[in-house]
Amino acid sequence: MAGAYNDRDGYIWMDGKLVDWREANVHILTHAMHYASSVFEGERSYGGKIFKSRAHSERLLFSGRELDMEIPYTVDEIEAAKYETLKANNLSDAYVRAVAWRGAGEDMGVSSSRNPVRLAIATWEWGAYYGDSKFKGAKLDISKWKRPSPETIPVHAKAAGLYMICTASKHAAEAKGCSDALFMDYRGYVAEATGANIFFVKNGEVHTPDPDCFLNGLTRQTVIGMLKERQVKVHERHIMPDELEGFEQCWLTGTAAEVTPVGQIGDYNFEVGEMTRDIATAYEKLVRA
């Protein structure tokens, strides 16, 4: 599938039924467009099976509740809709996007309790998120923005509003010839990339930021489990920026990113080493098992 995302053949599931891709539209006064009242999930289907599918559906409902937005579907209903959409589009290996939002209704201000909560699911073919970086290592910029405090926003929800600084940071990174950007958090600790969690290797042990103010990704959790099964010591902790100089390897994890090696962050360089290659290969096998 190719072309602009609003002009493709196929079907999108919206509010309980499949509609033609080009007809899957919303009104300009949709609340989410003005006030970011939207949550979503990014998932991948491998050979017709969506990896960690129920966990994604459960997190979607959790994210909605965090925004005081009760999504009017059960996990089972969301699961059925995702597979119905894959089948309608004749897709097996695909990206799956479920998105819920407050639509247009009686309210058009900050308050939106009388507006309907809507749900849509789209699927499309999507290759490697970072292109050939999966082989040679991605290059990351360091963002000027910080991941916010949990006292300021529901940081553990996968909410659209949390991605505003991601878009700005990724645009700035791409302008410098980088694939992505690394965030520090509001305290100055290393946090994550714009859409992926980060891992480092030193002396055969793995270090990854404690997700106390950003999303604890499902791929992150999966990879930590894989490392522990291999008897690799994993340190989930606060990491200072000056520690980057001492790390030997680095990789990103995420549904879109899968496991992507990192070759450079700012002025710091990393090798695409044995542990990175092993985890990337093992993850690829796991999702297709």
From first to last of the 289 residues of the chain, give the pLDDT tens digit. Answer: 568 999 999 999 999 999 999 999 999 999 999 999 999 999 999 999 999 999 999 999 999 999 999 999 999 999 999 999 999 999 999 999 999 999 999 999 999 999 999 999 999 998 877 776 666 899 999 999 999 999 999 999 999 999 999 999 999 999 999 999 999 999 999 999 999 999 999 999 999 999 999 999 999 999 999 999 999 999 999 999 999 999 999 999 999 999 999 999 999 999 999 999 999 999 999 999 9
Could you tell me which residues are beta bridge partners of residue 209? Answer: 237
Question: How many whole angstroms separate alpha carbon 25 and alpha carbon 20?
Answer: 10
Instruction: Give the pLDDT confidence score for residue 3 in this predicted structure.
Output: 81
Displacement of CA 189 from its chain's centroid (Å): 20
Query: Residue 96: which of 106, 81, 110, 108 has the closest Cα?
Result: 81
Question: How many whole angstroms separate alpha carbon 220 and alpha carbon 203?
Answer: 21
Catalytically annotated residue among 158, 170, 176, 233 = 158
Q: What are the helix (H) ranges across 67-182?
A: 75-88, 133-136, 164-175
**Residues 6 or more apart whose Cβ sits within 8 Å of residue 151:** none
The domain made up of 11-124 has a fold known as: D-amino Acid Aminotransferase; Chain A, domain 1 (3.30.470)
Query: Residue 224: which of 251, 246, 264 has the closest Cα?
Result: 251
Instruction: Give the pLDDT confidence score for residue 133 in this predicted structure.
Output: 64
The domain made up of 133-287 has a fold known as: D-amino Acid Aminotransferase; Chain A, domain 2 (3.20.10)
Displacement of CA 228 from its chain's centroid (Å): 23
Question: How many whole angstroms separate alpha carbon 239 and alpha carbon 222?
Answer: 21
**266 Rama class: left (phi>0) / alpha (psi -120 to 50) / beta:** left
Element (H, E) at 98: strand 94-102
Instruction: Give the pLDDT confidence score for residue 126 in this predicted structure.
Output: 87
Instruction: Give the pLDDT confidence score for residue 128 in this predicted structure.
Output: 75
| Structure-block tokens of residue 188 | 């100055």
Q: What are the helix (H) ranges across the chain?
A: 31-35, 53-66, 75-88, 133-136, 164-175, 218-229, 274-287
Question: How many whole angstroms separate alpha carbon 98 and alpha carbon 122?
Answer: 7
Displacement of CA 49 from its chain's centroid (Å): 18
Residue given tokens 């991601």 in the structure block = 166
Name the burial class of residue 141, with classes exposed (0-12), middle (13-18) and buried (19+) by CB atoms within 10 angstroms of its CB: buried
Instruction: Give the pLDDT confidence score for residue 132 in this predicted structure.
Output: 67
158 is catalytic: yes
Displacement of CA 151 from its chain's centroid (Å): 22
| Structure-block tokens of residue 249 | 């390897």
| Structure-block tokens of residue 103 | 């639509």
Counting DSSP H helices and E strands in the chain, the numbers are 7, 15
| Structure-block tokens of residue 176 | 């410098």
Residue ranges of the domains in the chain? 11-124, 133-287
